[in-house]
Amino acid sequence: MSDDSQTDLKVAGTPPIDVRYLDPAARPPLGWLRTICFGYMSALLSALTFFVGTPLMLLGAHGRGPHVFARLWGRSMLGCFGGGLKLEGPGRFDAKEPRLVVANHSSYLDVCSIFGWYPGQARFVLKQELLRLPFIGWYAKLCGHFLLDRENPREGKRVVDRAVARAKKYGLSPIVFPEGTRTSDGKLAPLKAGVFQLAINAQMPIQPVAIFRTYSMMPRGCNYPRYAGEVVMRVGKPISVEGLRGGPGRRQLAEQVEQAFRDLGVE
């Protein structure tokens, strides 16, 4: 039996993971101290990674340097605050083929998870406003992440065209959260079809990824991880965009991606 077949059986035969396996509304003791510790440690890790990686980033925003340090940052963050990650279906990743990576979004820890374990050259599609943040904004600019100006929708098409050109030229995989924001209840929110236009324009396969347990660990509105635990990330089968165009194509992809998330166990 091939590795991919074994992966299919493993994912399909595994019951859905309860994203609320720990109570996200619970308030562990000494919350103020946890907030301070998390803020200090996350800032320290981000600063160290940024300053150590800056020489490599300056050599080229599309090279391996930014990718290596993004992985280091993601794994360090989860190691300190989450306890690590279990990756199911890694054979479905292809580091050599650019894909639009889509994931459900429950927590800030989702970013650490994808950065830490995605094997290919990946860049997030980010809001322009993030450029104002120390370290995060500087890193996003230096490393060539795809920046979207929500306050100027007319720029949308030009942003997509530039992203397509860069993704093709440098073999980059854009990463998006098609829900648009973090879930407030641990369940999958409606997907925004517009994010799939990038994949259609680039004729780039879509790579669904389902992330579990981050909602319980650090839900929306929480300033620190409330629990230590192992994140689970399941990789779905790539979705082809061949032959899809315009609004109907975007809506079809939104339905397919939602179904892929459901098949992977997302509620």
Q: Indicate which CATH number applies to the domain containing 217.
A: 3.40.1130
Other Cβ atoms closer than 10 A to 205: 18
Give the model's pLDDT for residue 166: 83
Please tell me what DSSP assigns to residue 96. Answer: T
Q: Are 160 and 198 in contact (CB under 8 A)?
A: yes
pTM of the model: 0.82
E strands along 104-166, which residues? 122-127, 146-148
Decide if 115 is inside a domain: yes
Determine the Cα–Cα distance for residues 223 and 176; give it in Å rounded to an integer.
Answer: 23
Decide if 250 is inside a domain: yes
Decide if 23 is inside a domain: no
Q: For the chain, what is the domain count?
A: 1
Decide if 215 is inside a domain: yes
From residue 50, how far is each of 61, 125, 193, 199, 223 by CA, in Å?
Answer: 13, 19, 33, 30, 22
Other Cβ atoms closer than 10 A to 101: 23
DSSP letters spanning the chain = --HHHHHHHHHHTSPPP-TTSS-TT---SSHHHHHHHHHHHHHHHHHHHHHHHHHHHHH-TTSHHHHHHHHHHHHHHHHHHT--EEEE-GGG--TTS--EEEE---STHHHHHHHHH--S-EEEEEEGGGGGSTTHHHHHHHTT-EEE-TT-GGGHHHHHHHHHHHHHHHT-EEEE-TTSS--SSSSPPPP-GGGGHHHHHHT--EEEEEEESHHHHS-TT-SS-SS---EEEEE---B--TT--HHHHHHHHHHHHHHHHHHHT--
Decide if 136 is inside a domain: yes
Decide if 21 is inside a domain: no
Domain span holding position 33:
3-16+28-264
pLDDT (tens digit, 9 = 90+) per residue, 36-72? 777 777 778 777 777 766 666 666 556 666 778 788 8
Decide if 191 is inside a domain: yes
Give the model's pLDDT for residue 2: 36
Instruction: Return per-residue pLDDT of the chain as tens, 267 residues.
Output: 334 433 333 343 444 444 444 555 556 666 667 677 777 777 787 777 777 666 666 665 566 667 787 888 889 888 877 678 999 999 999 998 999 999 999 998 999 999 999 998 888 888 777 777 766 777 777 777 887 766 665 666 777 777 888 888 888 899 999 998 999 888 999 999 988 998 999 999 999 999 998 988 888 888 778 777 789 999 999 999 999 999 999 999 999 999 999 999 998
Q: What is the bridge-based pairing of β-strands 231-235 and 206-212? A: antiparallel
Please give the structure tokens belonging to residue 135.
């370290």
Decide if 131 is inside a domain: yes
